[in-house]
């Protein structure tokens, strides 16, 4: 869909799963609420019933209930996987630009999320290393 490499270089953090039904992450794309599946420092994936337009960037806002404020910026769809039903398609998106200090705030949010859902106790430094680290997928 794009010449942007769809494989993220940073670890993807699942924020939607059966194990974390209420992660607290909320996503809006061009003002429309959308379910977010995973987030990394380079992008996110979201539910989409049909393939979004991969030729243009869109504005996004990411919020986390456990934290104040929001992260915003621009992103572009780089891949789409059709689901078995209209509600289960997934669009992978690459963040092309963060507004203000959005990238650092996202790293903090993801580190806190990783520490909160980990099966073993993690220090803040260990959680941040996971978020900053290379993709294991």
pLDDT digits (tens, 9 = 90+) for 43-92: 999 988 888 889 999 999 999 988 888 999 999 999 999 888 767 889 99
pLDDT in tens, 121-131: 999 999 999 99
The pLDDT of residue 11 is above 90? no
DSSP per-residue letters across 73-101:
EEEEEEEEE--SSTT--EEEEEEEEE-TT
How far, CA to CA in Å, does 12 sit from each of 15, 50, 83, 129? 9, 23, 20, 13
Q: Is the pLDDT of residue 110 over 90?
A: yes
The segment with the largest mean pLDDT, out of 15-24, 25-34, 128-137, is 25-34
Q: Are strands 36-39 and 71-81 parallel, antiparallel or unpaired?
A: unpaired
Query: DSSP secondary-structure letter at 135?
Result: P
Task: Tell whether the model's pLDDT for residue 2 goes beyond 70.
Answer: no
**Tokens at 21, concatenated:** 């039904």
Does the structure show a pLDDT above 80 at 10?
Answer: no
DSSP 8-class letter at 24: -
Domains of the chain: 13-100 (2.40.10.430)
């Amino acid at each position: 869909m794009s010449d942007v490499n769809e494989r993220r270089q940073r670890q993807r953090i699942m924020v939607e799963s059966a194990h974390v039904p209420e992660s607290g992450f909320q996503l809006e794309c061009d003002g429309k609420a959308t379910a977010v599946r995973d987030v990394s420092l380079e992008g996110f994936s979201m539910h989409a019933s049909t393939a979004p337009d991969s030729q243009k960037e869109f504005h996004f806002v990411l919020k986390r209930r456990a934290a104040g404020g929001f992260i915003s910026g621009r992103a572009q769809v780089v891949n789409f996987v059709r689901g078995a039903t209209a509600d289960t398609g997934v669009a992978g998106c690459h963040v092309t630009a963060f507004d203000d200090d959005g990238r650092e705030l996202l790293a903090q949010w993801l580190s806190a999320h990783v520490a909160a859902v980990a099966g073993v106790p993690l220090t803040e430094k260990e959680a941040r290393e996971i978020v900053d680290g290379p993709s294991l997928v």
